Amino acid sequence: MSTVNRQFVLASRPVGLPEESNFKLIETPVPELKDGEFLARAMYLSVDPYMRGRISQARSYAAGVEIGGLMVAGGVARVVESKNPNFAVGDIVDVYMGWQEYVISSGKGIRKLNPSIAPVSTALGVLGMTGLTAYFGLLDVCNPQPGETVVVSGAAGAVGSIVGQIAKIKGCRTVGIAGGDDKCAWISTDCGYDAAFNYKTTDNYGAKLKELCPNGIDVYFDNVGGAITDAVFMQINTHARLSICGQISQYNNAKPEMGPRLLGMLIVARAKVQGFLVSDYMPRAAEAMIEMSGWLREGKLKYREDIVEGFENLPKAFIGLFHGENTGKRIVKVVD
């Protein structure tokens, strides 16, 4: 076992799109264990769009990363040393550890993973925060009903690809919006979307939505914001529900983007728009995991992992999210 812990810290705050120079790789000693603690080494680390908000100075729902502070991230790690009777060497755990190779934990709130049930990397995706975000953001916020039309932006991403499948399980008609013909093909073929379009090659979002949603839009799961969401607003049905999960098209804007002021459509349609945080639903995580695991076993739920090899590639993998490089959940593999 190494005595050196490699970590990525925030070197500077990005203006616009993040750059690799905004992050600095440092080495620190691996701390010694105290009674009741265990030491785990990262196997997989997550990169997610929400991290962009955590490295800016804008108001957010959680404290930002300070200059020189460790980058935040979820991880899957293997226990390599333990003074905690509940965790043995070799156990694999789901732990919020940040961009570093080693983490020390007391074990509180830590979930052990069973590789015989599902690949452990799924704890960062379909059977982790990503899956929970899709589950509660769709079912709790929007309460989709059989026969309704559900539109999802960012539909080939980690969350969006799961949202569409859950909507299909619930008997809905699904329309996905993604950034590439290959992505549209994947969500149509593997994720079961009834229709999809490539926003990068579509000139008129409103006309395309009207074509693909002839009966209007009952539920919208928003991952991107901007012009796509503006177009959706004009097509919503009476009593539509809009779940605001992310606004990735806006995260790197140096200045707020001015757009149509469409809140009046919520009055016309008597519609509901709600932002949410998956952390608010953690007391109910077990119920979601049981149902999601069952769908996965039954083949009703499929997922794709976009795996980048190498700890040193964490910043590059993160930045790639904003260029639409990933299909499905992007994960950085550190070690086997």
pLDDT for 14-60, tens place per residue? 999 999 999 999 999 998 999 999 999 999 999 999 999 999 988 77
How far is the C-alpha of 327 from the C-alpha of 301, rounded, in Å? 16
pLDDT tens for each residue of 161-195: 999 999 999 999 999 999 999 999 999 999 999 99
Q: What are phi and psi of 108, to 5 degrees?
A: -65, 125
- Collapsing DSSP to helix, strand or coil, 54 comes out as helix
Give the burial class of 205: count Cβ atoms within 10 A of its Cβ; 0-12 exposed, 13-18 middle, 19 or more buried.
Answer: buried
Confidence at residue 10, expressed as pLDDT on a 0 to 100 scale: 98
Confidence at residue 39, expressed as pLDDT on a 0 to 100 scale: 98
Confidence at residue 1, expressed as pLDDT on a 0 to 100 scale: 67
Q: Residues 157, 184: contact at Cβ < 8 Å?
A: no
Confidence at residue 60, expressed as pLDDT on a 0 to 100 scale: 79
Q: How distant, in Å, are the alpha carbons of 55, 130, 276 from that of 42?
A: 22, 19, 29
For the chain, give the mean pLDDT: 96
Q: What are phi and psi of 57, to 5 degrees?
A: -100, 5
Model pTM above 0.85: yes
Q: Residues 73, 45: contact at Cβ < 8 Å?
A: yes
How far is the C-alpha of 166 from the C-alpha of 152, rounded, in Å? 12
Q: Residue 211, Cβ neighbours under 10 Å: how many?
A: 11
pLDDT beneath 50, residues of the chain: none
Structure tokens at 126: 């379909």
Which residue stretches of the chain are H helix? 51-54, 129-142, 160-169, 181-189, 205-212, 226-233, 264-269, 285-297, 314-320
How far is the C-alpha of 8 from the C-alpha of 323, rounded, in Å? 21
Confidence at residue 111, expressed as pLDDT on a 0 to 100 scale: 95
- CA nearest to 41, candidates 85, 106, 90, 107: 90
How far is the C-alpha of 71 from the C-alpha of 14, rounded, in Å? 14
Number of continuous H segments (helices) and E segments (strands) in the chain:
9, 15
What does the DSSP 8-state code read for residue 26?
E
Handedness of CA 242, 154, 74, 189 (dihedral sign): positive
